[in-house]
Amino acid sequence: MHGAGENIAAAVDAETLVFRYDDGDPIIDIESLRIAAGERVFIEGPSGSGKSTLLGLIGGILVPTSGTLNVLETNLGALSATERDRLRAERIGFVFQMFNLLPYLSLVDNVLLPCRFSPVRTARAGGSAAELQQNAVRLLEQLGLSSHLHERKVTELSIGQQQRVAAARALIGEPSLLIADEPTSALDTKTRQRFIDLVIGECERVGTSVLFVSHDPTLATAFDRRIVLSELNRATAQSDE
Amino acid sequence: MNRLALTLSLATRSLANRRLTAVLTVLSIAVSVALVVGVEQVRTEAKRGFTNTISGADLIVGARSGQLNLLLYSVFRIGDPTTNVSYANYERIAARDDVAWTIPISLGDSHRGFRVMGTTDAYFEHYRFADNQALTFTSGVPFKWVTDAVIGADVAAALGYATGDPIVVSHGLGATSFQQHTELPFRVAGVLRRTGTPVDRTVHVTLAGIEAIHNGWARTPAARQPVEASIAEQNALQPTSITAFIVGMDSRIAIFGLQRAINEFNGEPLLAIIPGVALQQLWSLVGVAETALFAVSAFVVIGGLIGLLTTLLTSLAERRREMAVLRAVGAGRGLVFALLIVEAWLLAFVAGLIGVGVIHAALWFARPIILDQFGLYLAGGGPGAFDAIVVVVVAVAAAILAAFPAWRAYRYSLADGLTVRT
């Protein structure tokens, strides 16, 4: 079983990675991208730099047109769609800019959603219903959502609170890789830094690699390394998308 | 947790979150299902009631006209006979060895809008309806005297008659005839139990009584004494002709022989029909309207399903994020597809159950009213195979239709990836 803190060399390893829709121009054209296991990387990318596409590729939703892409030591190109879905469910956590939560599920059920798609993740999050519940509550509290909020409806939470629930969901069951796509852009400056600190603290504890995408370079200080996507991606360097 | 349970649980919770549109969609499909089931129920019961009008009779004989014409006036009291059958020929046929019994019928008079039918005691003895049920009395007795009348349940209810009340028969069929047979008032001797057939709307009098008011006997001194009908029929009040008669035979095999004999009878142009065959023929005429009604209700169901399709398609736009979230946490595209199929199926299935339940409850409550107003008894033993088929067909059709929005959601989730730009 792949635990988060296991000994893997790279979280992401891409070589001559190209992606284009059908016969269109390449949207992603990356010579080499390597993110070590446990490394926390800040990717700076304005909109149009191909970041959504890159995250779609790493998340296994999109398939590379050419080149190799290894995520968590697994060659995505060699996997079927179902296998890619499984990898995502078992070992990757996502946080988006906003609207991360399903309004019809409770806070805790939202957090436990990835476990419902993956027995492996369920097992890592405790296995039994009671332990899952406990783990979800612990994560929410660790991310600063005190228990009196847990009974609230998702729609009654502030955006900052919703983002913390989303982070808890991404981190339940100790994923090997956390992908955060502009998770703080809807937050104000004060809560922004606090959110990043909380998420990184939790990832550090478990050993989760972090891929944090933002257009705001001032946030990069909390990360091990900063990558500017528009420099990395030759597709956007050429065409002014 | 297995995939189906997960899909089902997500679909129900997502639907609950959009409960207003979900409820409205369910409602529109439920109404259409209720309509189909209701139409079918009434149709079946109407047909049953129709074919139950007469039972156990082997032949109906009248003057030569059309098969349906004879059936209509002799059994349904609709329309008029063209000519009569001579009483002598009636007696000749009734006396045949293979004939078990006959019921003479003499029509042409009315009482306050209800048809008056002259007949004999044989009517109460041999007439059968539905599943070979005999006529029974709620009060009173069959004919004894010439002036005895036995009324159907509707007549008694509509006119408030009880045994002992007098009845004045009008000549002809209008509700307000100028020619009243006031010289010989009849007296209600009995009231029949409800049958759900035209019998309920008939005033039955003796054959001798009909004769008495038409041949002037009523004005003779003899009429002032009570005269037994069965005796009078053989004497002073023997009719010269009757409208039609019903024949029961000892052996079913002999029916066709007698039918041919009557139809080829030289003395008088007669027509013998087999009631079951004529009823089927008549129903096939009515059946056109029935098919049209069914087609209309089927179209209402199609309308309901298109409404469902519209709801699903419009909901897609606002649900792209929901789909993207599910994809991000590990859902395959198959689940996104299945979610919409299951949702449509669930809505239609629940709607079907509600529709069937509501219409059966409604018909159950409306049963006495329908019986009273339309003379149609809805036996309706609750939901049956037809209802199950309707529910299954509607649910399956909804699931198939949902393939279109499901496919779009599938495409969206491919194009959107993990981030929805809208």
Within 8 A of B324 by CB-CB distance, chain A residues are: 96
pLDDT above 90 (res B90):
yes
- Please give the average per-residue pLDDT across B128-132, as a whole number: 85
Nearest by CB to A61, from B321, B418, B420: name it.
B418
- Average of per-residue pLDDT across B188-198: 90
Give pLDDT, residue A1. 43
Closest partner residue to A94 (CB to CB) among B6, B334, B418 is B418
**pTM of the predicted protein model:** 0.75
Reading the block at residue B310, the tokens are: 């519209």
Q: What pLDDT, on the 0 to 100 scale, is given for residue A2?
A: 47
Kindly determine whether residue A89 and residue B330, on different chains, have CB atoms separated by under 8 Å: yes
pLDDT of B285 reads 83
Mutate to test the interface with B, among A100, A101, A116, A128 (most CBs of B within 10 A): A116
Cβ of B330 and A86 within 8 Å? yes
Question: pLDDT-derived band of residue B237, with 50, 70 and 90 as boundaries?
Answer: confident
Q: Tens digit of pLDDT for each residue in A60-98?
A: 888 889 899 999 988 988 899 889 988 999 999 988 887
% residues pLDDT > 70 (chain A): 95
pLDDT 10s digits, A126-149: 888 899 999 899 999 888 888 888
Does the structure show a pLDDT above 50 at B312? yes
Average pLDDT, chain B: 87
Cα–Cα distance for residue pair B139/B105, rounded to 1 Å: 23
Q: What is the ipTM of this complex?
A: 0.87
More reliable by pLDDT, A12 or B413: A12
Kindly state whether A118 is in contact with chain B, defined as any CB-CB distance less than 8 angstroms. Answer: yes
Backbone angles phi, psi at B279, to 5 degrees: -60, -45
- For B270, the 3-state DSSP assignment is strand
Most B CBs within 10 A among A95, A102, A107, A156, hence the mutation to make, goes to A102
> Per-residue pLDDT for A239 more than 50?
no
pLDDT for B422 equals 42
* Residue B70: partners with Cβ closer than 8 Å, 6 or more residues away: B60, B62, B81, B244, B271, B273, B278
Query: Residue B271 above 70 pLDDT?
Result: yes
pLDDT of residue B124: 93
pLDDT at residue B140 is higher than 80: yes
State the DSSP code for B32: H
Say whether pLDDT at A175 is over 70: yes
- The answer to whether A94 and A165 have CB atoms below 8 angstroms apart is no
* Axis-axis angle for helices B275-328, B403-416 (nearest 10): 10
Q: What residues contact residue A213 under an 8 Å CB cut-off, 6+ apart?
A: A43, A44, A45, A51, A55, A179, A180, A181, A182, A229
The pLDDT, as a whole number, for residue A5 is: 46
Q: Reduced to 3 DSSP states, what percent helix, strand and coil does chain B have, rounded to the nearest 5?
A: 55, 15, 25
Predicted local confidence at residue A26, as pLDDT: 85
Task: Report the C-alpha gap between A205 and A139 in whole angstroms.
Answer: 12
DSSP one-letter string for B321-388: HHHHHHHHTT--HHHHHHHHHHHHHHHHHHHHHHHHHHHHHHHHHHHHHHHHHH-------SS-HHHH
Range A220-234 average pLDDT: 87
Q: Which of A72, A76, A102 is nearest to A90 (CA)?
A: A72
Interface residues from chain B to A (CB-CB < 8 Å): 1, 6, 13-14, 16-17, 321-322, 324-334, 414, 417-420
Question: What integer pLDDT is reported at residue A110 of this predicted model?
Answer: 92
Alpha-carbon span A125 to A120, nearest angstrom: 9
